[in-house]
Amino acid sequence: MDPDKIERVYTSYAGFYDRVFGKVFHEGRESAIRNLNVQPNEQILEVGVGTGLALPMYPRHCRIVGIDVSEGMLARAKEKAAAHQLDHVELHRMDAGAMQFHDDSFDTVVAAYVVTAVPDYRKVVNEMIRVCRPGGRIIMLNHFSNGNKVIAAVEKALSPITKHLGWRTDLSLNTVLEGTSLHIARNQRVNPLRLWALVECINGKGQQMNGNGTAQAASGYARGNGTAAYSNGNGHYSPEHAH
């Protein structure tokens, strides 16, 4: 998938995205945010924020940074942020495969309907891992290819068609996670039709694994409320030259 084409496709969607896709994917977004158990002052990055449909769902006691490559989608997100007076939200136009943030800037990274809609999912996943602190959470809400051979064959056949619409259907979760430091903490099916997956991963970079397959916080990272805690010094995300 060509990056410029993806930007053009999603910018063209901006005017009607909420009406067409908003209700269809609402339950998945709501499930993702409802189960986050966001802590006060938690630093959250939403990759591919789109028209900002999820922004009003986050609690106001955290800090949200949203990025998107599409100017059209981002303009809609900015309108929502202003309309709902979301003072805890910042929005930037940015390539998810080359983010302009320092390492370990965020406690949680959320990517809803993103991984299969980018030109290079490996770059995007690696960037999410880089900007998320060790022991932090990376949440992916996405359709991944089905383990059923018949359905998988249909998904593979459809993928060349759906790529022209801005996404692919033939990518599996195992392929996405292979070779990364991410460890699945939760994987549940969500609507529409339970064909989408809500996957919560723990960022295991710089950590050792316990015998039960869970990540143990590396030296210097203290756990709090059941998760590893990390601060990048000032408690805020660190954009290098965000715009």
Query: Can you give the pLDDT of all 243 residues of the chain as single tens digits?
Result: 566 766 766 677 677 777 777 777 788 889 899 989 999 999 999 999 999 999 999 999 999 999 999 999 999 999 999 999 999 999 999 999 999 999 999 999 999 989 988 889 999 999 999 999 999 999 999 888 866 554 555 455 444 434 434 445 678 899 999 999 999 999 998 876 777 899 999 999 987 545 444 444 433 333 223 333 333 333 344 444 343
User: What is the distance in angstroms between the CA of the first residue and the CA of the last residue of the chain?
Assistant: 25
Quote the pLDDT of residue 86: 98
Quote the pLDDT of residue 3: 63
**Length of the chain as a residue count:** 243
- Report yes or no: 73 and 14 within 8 Å, Cβ to Cβ: yes
- Report yes or no: 96 and 127 within 8 Å, Cβ to Cβ: yes
Quote the pLDDT of residue 147: 66
Quote the pLDDT of residue 103: 98
Secondary structure class of 184 (helix, strand, coil): strand
Q: Are strands 196-203 and 182-190 parallel, antiparallel or unpaired?
A: antiparallel
Quote the pLDDT of residue 212: 45
Quote the pLDDT of residue 119: 84
Quote the pLDDT of residue 36: 93
Question: In angstroms, rounded to a whole number, what is the distance separating the alpha carbons of residues 187 and 56?
Answer: 24
Quote the pLDDT of residue 141: 93
Quote the pLDDT of residue 169: 60
Amino acid at 171: L
Quote the pLDDT of residue 156: 53
Quote the pLDDT of residue 150: 47
- Report yes or no: 130 and 185 within 8 Å, Cβ to Cβ: no
Give pTM, 2 decimals.
0.77
